[in-house]
Amino acid sequence: MQKNILLVGTEERLPLYQEAAENPEIEFRVVGNLHATLEAIKEKIPSLIMVDNEALGATSLDIAHTLKKYPGTQRLPLIFIVTQNNQGSLLDALDIPVNDYLFLPLDTEDFKLRIKTQLELLDLKEKRKLISVKEKVEELEKLLEIFPEYNAARQELSAIYEKTGQVEKAMDSNLQLAKEYYKQNNFGLAMDEITKIKNIIAQQSIQFTAQAPLLEALDRCIQMLGIVK
């Protein structure tokens, strides 16, 4: 799987890192300031960010600090690049929770090892995250088998389904919630769940494999609640 590294520095220094990486599966992108960095992250989340202090000077410290301060970017692995004799920048960078440091002049083997380590750690975190989500889904599904009227568990399960792109399961959970709320004469909450389903359908441009049965069930539920579409 191709990895992409966002180099916060200059185009002139890009060949130095590309040649040192010696890995055709790594794609490099280059940006030169904080605004461009944030825009590049919005466009495509990088596997790793490298901030080049040698190329950008004091600005690099501000960029690294900002990236590690805000929730939207602080989880991204970041390597700070500094020259060995630049003690001032290194001491300043120690206050920033970067993931690792690279020292110039560049040692090719050390560079490859540090890059490899950060990318492998990222893969491990992603795998653990997927396992954690899977375990949570299984736990909630088993809980609902025993207590099908446990609405809080079904709400949490529906949210996980939607966040992980399992829209059909999310809508089915919303539909089950609507039915449970209807049985409890809580028509306002039932209507909220129906609205969620309609919003999901409106937002999706794909064709659901189980669309027809689901929409039929939705129509029945709407009729049952006395809602005019």
Which CATH number do you get for residue 60? 3.40.50.2300
Round the average pLDDT of the chain to a whole number and report it.
83
- pLDDT band with cut points at 50, 70 and 90 for residue 220: low
- Examine residue 139 and state whether it is found in any structural domain, yes or no: no
Instruction: Say yes or no: 174 and 221 in one domain.
Output: yes
Q: What is the pLDDT of residue 195?
A: 84
Residue 214 near residue 208, CB atoms below 8 Å: yes
Instruction: Say yes or no: 32 and 98 in one domain.
Output: yes
- Examine residue 140 and state whether it is found in any structural domain, yes or no: no
Q: What is the pLDDT of residue 224?
A: 52
Of 4, 1, 3, 73, nearest in space to 34 by CA: 73
Could you tell me the end-to-end alpha-carbon distance of the chain, in angstroms, rounded to an integer?
Answer: 46
Q: What is the pLDDT of residue 187?
A: 82
- pLDDT band with cut points at 50, 70 and 90 for residue 229: very low
* Residue with the larger pLDDT of the pair 114 and 224: 114
> Is the pLDDT score of 15 beyond 90?
yes
Instruction: Say yes or no: 178 and 121 in one domain.
Output: no
Q: Which structure tokens are listed for 197? A: 């389903």
Q: What is the pLDDT of residue 130?
A: 72
**Residue 197: which domain range?**
147-225
Of 19, 48, 69, 32, nearest in space to 114 by CA: 48
- Examine residue 135 and state whether it is found in any structural domain, yes or no: no
Number of domains in the chain: 2
Q: What is the pLDDT of residue 112?
A: 94
Instruction: Say yes or no: 7 and 99 in one domain.
Output: yes
Instruction: Say yes or no: 79 and 117 in one domain.
Output: yes
Instruction: Say yes or no: 120 and 167 in one domain.
Output: no
Q: What is the pLDDT of residue 158?
A: 87
Point out the domain boundary residue: 126, 159, 186. 126
- Examine residue 132 and state whether it is found in any structural domain, yes or no: no
Question: DSSP letter at 95?
Answer: T
- Examine residue 133 and state whether it is found in any structural domain, yes or no: no
CA distance 156 to 145: 15
Instruction: Say yes or no: 156 and 221 in one domain.
Output: yes
Point out the domain boundary residue: 126, 160, 178. 126
Point out the domain boundary residue: 67, 95, 126. 126
- Residue-wise pLDDT tens digits, 101-158: 999 999 999 999 999 999 988 888 877 777 788 888 887 888 788 778 778 888 888 8
- Examine residue 142 and state whether it is found in any structural domain, yes or no: no
CA distance 21 to 24: 8
Question: DSSP letter at 106?
Answer: P
Of 195, 190, 198, 196, nearest in space to 151 by CA: 190
Q: Which structure tokens are listed for 74? A: 């602080």
The contacts of residue 215 (CB under 8 Å, 6+ apart) are 201
Question: From start to end of the chain, where are the E strands?
Answer: 3-8, 26-31, 48-52, 78-83, 100-104
- Examine residue 134 and state whether it is found in any structural domain, yes or no: no
The contacts of residue 28 (CB under 8 Å, 6+ apart) are 4, 5, 7, 14, 17, 18, 21
Instruction: Say yes or no: 167 and 119 in one domain.
Output: no
Instruction: Say yes or no: 93 and 161 in one domain.
Output: no
Q: What is the pLDDT of residue 49?
A: 96
Q: What is the pLDDT of residue 115?
A: 93
Instruction: Say yes or no: 186 and 93 in one domain.
Output: no
- Residue-wise pLDDT tens digits, 162-214: 888 888 888 888 888 888 888 888 888 888 888 888 787 777 644 444 455 55
Amino acid at 104: L
CA distance 1 to 72: 24
Residue 143 near residue 113, CB atoms below 8 Å: no
Residue in the structure block whose two tokens are 């200059």: 10
Instruction: Say yes or no: 10 and 117 in one domain.
Output: yes
Residue in the structure block whose two tokens are 């809508």: 171
Q: What is the pLDDT of residue 73?
A: 87
- Examine residue 62 and state whether it is found in any structural domain, yes or no: yes
Instruction: Say yes or no: 216 and 165 in one domain.
Output: yes
The arithmetic mean of pLDDT across residues 65-69, rounded, is: 92
